[in-house]
A and B are shown apart, each in its own frame.
Chain A
């Protein structure tokens, strides 16, 4: 089904997008959801993003820490691990290669 294919494609892309967002600085989950929502096509619900963060954590691609907040409850911050940096570099290269190849293919078939 086309919708399933799109959903699977998005899931892989979202993981790369989250790693990209964490490149500059650590963030908490709500911040990541908001940042993704600001990019058309990448917006995802909290119900999708937090499970992906769990997966990135258990894969060792992000490190986490709880931080007490002066106003409000504590927050869990996510930051790229060394393995996450490497995965981001590999993922970026693979993404660019894929986009280039797919663009050429789609142009030919148009």
Chain B
């Protein structure tokens, strides 16, 4: 027999992740306040009240939809509700509409739940408040470290005064070249992502925004390393998959750290 909460959660599956999380958190508050089923209604009735309260949000937002069975999104990660898809433990779907364009992206929250690291209801909109603000500040400015590294590497590459590679074949060997100043392009990308990632945010976005900023800046940094190495040793293949893997690991690492701290220090609610 599933709990009242689980039944409501199942009925709210189509709501956006942030709305669903908020609604389930308030249902927990209601149950802890001692509200009985007679006061809340059946799970189906309670879910209907939630859907009614969020009638506008239940409809797909402008910019979101499906084409040939594939989800598309035109708002991009500059929209906080779009960003929130990458960390939504209350949403059981691992593959969620990607943040921009056609296709899917990974909901790290659902992955963590599937791996048994946390339960869907372990995370709510207050969870991040249990993390030391100094850690959140450090994470917020972490994208700057990637950007600084990218700038140092790119400037050094440019100062060598040699042509720099701008294209690589599948083996990781350069096959397109440009002027030395092109070496600054990856640094510019990293700085752009870092500047975006450190802007102020609220709620879970305090974790999500800098994580995306750091992921973008680290990708810029990886391309700067790639450019530098190929410019120096054009005859050698560069380890493109390894560099991309490092950049790809930055996002989950950036999310995993504050989540682990929050869960370790959470209030004992149950």
Residues of A in contact with B (beta carbons under 8 Å apart): 11, 28-30, 33, 45-48, 50-55, 57-58, 64-66, 68, 73-76
* Given known contacts A51-B23, A65-B129, A28 and B29 CB-to-CB distance under 8 angstroms: yes
Q: Which range contains the number of B residues in contact with the other chain?
A: 20 to 34
Chain A's closest residue to B124 (CB) is A66
Cβ-defined contact, A74 with B267, below 8 A: yes
Contact pick for B33, options A11, A45, A48, A75, CB 8 Å: A75
Given that A55-B53, A65-B129, A73-B269 are contacting pairs, would A47 and B41 also be in contact in the complex, using a CB cutoff of 8 Å?
yes
Count of A-B contacts with CB under 8 A? Answer: 85
Binding site for A on B (CB under 8 A): 18-19, 22-23, 25-30, 32-35, 39-41, 45-46, 49-50, 52-54, 57, 125-126, 129, 267, 269
Question: Interface majority SS on B: helix, strand, loop or mixed?
Answer: helix
How long is the Cα–Cα vector from A40 to B213 in the complex, in angstroms?
Answer: 52
Asked if residues B35 and A74 are in contact (CB atoms below 8 Å), the reply is no
Q: How far is the CA of A54 from the CA of B51 in the complex (A)?
A: 11
Check B54 against A47 for contact (C-beta < 8 Å): no
Known contacts A30-B35, A54-B53: does B29 contact A47 (CB below 8 Å)? no
Q: Which of B25, B30, B50, B52 contacts A46 (CB 8 A)?
A: B30
Tell me which residues across on chain A come within 8 A of B45, comparing CB atoms.
Answer: 47
| B26:A30 contact, CB within 8 angstroms | no
**Given that A29-B29, A66-B267 are known contacts, is A51 also in contact with B49, CB under 8 Å in the complex?**
yes
The answer to whether residues A51 and B126 also contact, given A45-B41, A46-B35 and a CB cut-off of 8 A, is: no
Bound form: Cα–Cα A83–B29 in Å = 23
CA A53 to CA B125, docked complex, whole Å: 14
List of A residues within 8 angstroms of B27 by Cβ: 50
Partner of A66, one of B46, B49, B53, B126: B126
Beta-carbon contact of A53 and B26 below 8 Å: yes
Q: A89 → chain B, closest Cβ, in Å?
A: 22
**B267 contacts A58, C-beta separation under 8 Å:** no
Contacts A/B (CB < 8 Å), 6 sampled: A46-B35, A51-B49, A53-B29, A54-B26, A58-B19, A74-B269
